[in-house]
């Protein structure tokens, strides 16, 4: 397929093109340059490239006082080999858009075109293609980039497709929408010994056993009425060698909470547990954090704005009682002012995101574009 053009090709063609050339988090160089090329064709007032590495934004500025709105999507794909067989399947071995960010990009590019055709009467509209969502680094890095001051908006909006839900259903709530989460990597270090004389070394065995139980108990120590979870995802110790008593052990767990405050408490008591346990057994210890996501918190008024727009577009709306347990880094952007993110039903028979057989439902492209455009139309 040759490069589709935003002015002459369909948004589905664009989605299929992006699908063929997926790039991993932080490496979305060709994707970003294609997006920038297409935005150029729409003649916005400003295009900003290189935000937090590969991020791209377009600004449509009325030049008249008014609100600023930001609509965000993600550039990155996943290190997953997809197993579907489409004419537009990924050409990059072991990498694929198994989260549907190709679809989100098509939606937001479609929105940019609709805004270019009907420019804001007041205020400004900002379109953001953000890098590295999957690692949780992208949105935080965008906010930390000095360029962010040029795109910081009064209200921020984003969606995520959600398969196995009715097609086009807008699923939303005020308050926490996605949980905070982070990976905890604990390393313990003692000293090896001959397996016949283990008492001459320092084994992490008992400390590891104690920590496996201890981390599972951490949520019980958080006195808050909200979801708090610790999931052990991996552990190992020593070498596969019957002659050697081990020196090193590693434990990895995913921490998950509804609020950022609870996450801070969980992190603090987790650190204490590791340090105390290591000390008790005369071991060295370290903790590393990975895949750090803040909670994504929805503003009540922005949620109402999404609901109103969805209704105008004829989509059904479902308010959920509890936040989704999965994480999304949009919260870092909405926390700079306010905003709302919603899950967008991808159709009952579509496989779950991050699965090898997942595929983005193209029917969502126009529907998503229309909801965002309606929000834009009502506010600007
Ligand atoms: Zn994902
Ligand atoms: Zn995603």
Q: What is the pLDDT along the chain (380 residues), one digit of tens a residue?
A: 689 999 999 999 999 999 999 999 999 999 999 999 999 999 999 999 999 999 999 999 999 999 999 999 999 999 999 998 899 999 999 999 999 999 999 999 999 999 999 999 999 999 999 999 999 899 999 999 999 999 999 999 999 999 999 999 999 999 999 999 999 999 999 999 999 999 999 999 999 999 999 999 999 999 999 999 999 999 999 999 999 999 999 999 999 999 999 999 999 999 999 999 999 999 999 999 999 999 999 999 999 999 999 999 999 999 999 999 999 999 999 999 999 999 999 999 999 999 999 999 999 999 999 999 999 999 88
Q: Which of 60, 161, 129, 106 is nearest to 377 (CA)?
A: 60
Res 77: pLDDT: 98
Q: How far is the CA of 264 from the centre of ligand 2 (A)?
A: 24
Ligand 1: distance of its center to the CA of 354 in Å? 6
CA of 100 to the centre of ligand 2 (A): 6
Per the CB < 8 A criterion, the answer to whether 164 and 353 are in contact is: no
Question: Cα(181) to centroid of ligand 2, in Å?
Answer: 15
Round to whole Å and give the CA distance between 32 and 56.
Answer: 7
Identify the pLDDT of residue 1: 64
Virtual torsion, Cα 333, 336, 342, 344, nearest 10 deg: -20
Cβ-based burial of 207 (10 A; exposed 0-12, middle 13-18, buried ≥19): buried
Question: In this structure, which ligand is nearest to the CA of 330?
Answer: 2
Are 76 and 26 within 8 A, CB to CB? yes
Alpha-carbon separation of residue 88 from 1, 5, 19, 96, 371 (angstroms): 8, 16, 7, 11, 27
Are 184 and 233 in contact by the 8 Å Cβ rule? The answer is no
Which bound ligand lies closest to the C-alpha atom of 78?
1
DSSP-derived secondary structure letter, 199: G
Taking only the tens place, the pLDDT of each residue in 288-305 is: 999 999 999 999 999 999
Q: Are the C-beta atoms of 181 and 255 separated by less than 8 Å? A: yes
Decide if 78 contacts 134 (C-beta within 8 A). yes
Distance 98 CA to ligand 1 centre (A): 7
Distance between Cα 97 and ligand 2 center (Å) = 9
pLDDT in tens, 215-259: 999 999 999 999 999 999 999 999 999 999 999 999 999 999 999
Which ligand is in closest contact with the Cα of 162? 2
- Please report the pLDDT score of residue 84 as a whole number: 86
What distance in angstroms lies between residue 136's CA and the mean position of ligand 1's atoms? 10
Cα(122) to centroid(ligand 1), Å: 35
For residue 252, the cross-strand partners are 185, 234
Residue 159's SS3 state is strand
What pLDDT does residue 380 have?
Answer: 84
User: Of the bound ligands, which one is closest to the alpha carbon of residue 360?
Assistant: 2
State the Cα–Cα distance between residues 215 and 258, nearest whole angstrom: 18
Q: Which ligand is nearest to the CA of 102?
A: 2
Distance 238 CA to ligand 2 centre (A): 36
């Amino acid at each position: 397929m040759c490069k589709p053009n935003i002015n002459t090709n369909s948004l589905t063609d664009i989605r299929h093109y992006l699908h063929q050339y997926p790039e991993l988090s932080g490496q979305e160089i060709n994707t970003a340059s294609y997006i920038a090329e297409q935005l150029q064709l729409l003649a916005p007032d400003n295009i900003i490239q290189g935000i937090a590495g590969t991020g791209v934004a377009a600004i449509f500025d009325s030049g008249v006082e008014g609100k600023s709105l930001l609509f965000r999507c993600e550039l990155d794909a996943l290190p997953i080999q997809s197993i579907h067989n489409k004419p537009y399947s990924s050409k990059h071995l072991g990498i694929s858009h198994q989260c549907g960010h190709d679809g989100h990009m098509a939606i937001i590019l479609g929105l940019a075109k609709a805004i270019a055709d009907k420019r804001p009467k007041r205020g400004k509209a900002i379109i953001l293609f953000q890098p590295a969502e999957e690692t949780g680094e992208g949105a935080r890095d965008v906010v930390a980039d000095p360029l962010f001051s040029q795109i910081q908006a009064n209200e921020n909006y984003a969606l995520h497709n959600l398969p196995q839900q009715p097609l086009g259903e807008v699923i939303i709530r005020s308050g926490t929408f996605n949980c905070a989460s982070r990976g905890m990597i604990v390393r313990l270090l003692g000293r090896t010994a001959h397996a016949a004389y283990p008492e001459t070394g320092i084994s992490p065995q008992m400390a590891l056993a104690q920590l496996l139980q201890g981390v599972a108990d951490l949520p019980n120590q958080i006195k808050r009425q909200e979801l708090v979870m610790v999931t052990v995802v991996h552990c190992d110790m020593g070498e596969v060698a019957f002659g050697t008593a081990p020196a090193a052990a590693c434990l990895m767990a995913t921490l998950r909470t509804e609020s950022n405050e609870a996450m801070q408490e969980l992190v603090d008591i987790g650190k204490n547990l590791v340090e105390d346990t290591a000390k008790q057994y005369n071991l060295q210890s370290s903790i590393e954090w990975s895949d750090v996501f803040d909670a994504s918190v929805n503003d009540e008024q922005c949620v109402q704005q999404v609901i109103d727009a969805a209704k105008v577009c004829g989509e059904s709306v479902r308010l959920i009682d509890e936040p989704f347990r999965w994480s999304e880094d949009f919260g870092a952007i909405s926390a700079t002012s306010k905003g709302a993110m919603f899950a967008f039903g991808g159709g009952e028979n579509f496989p779950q995101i991050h699965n090898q057989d997942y595929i983005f439902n193209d029917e969502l492209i126009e529907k998503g574009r229309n909801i965002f455009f309606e929000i834009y139309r009502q506010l600007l």
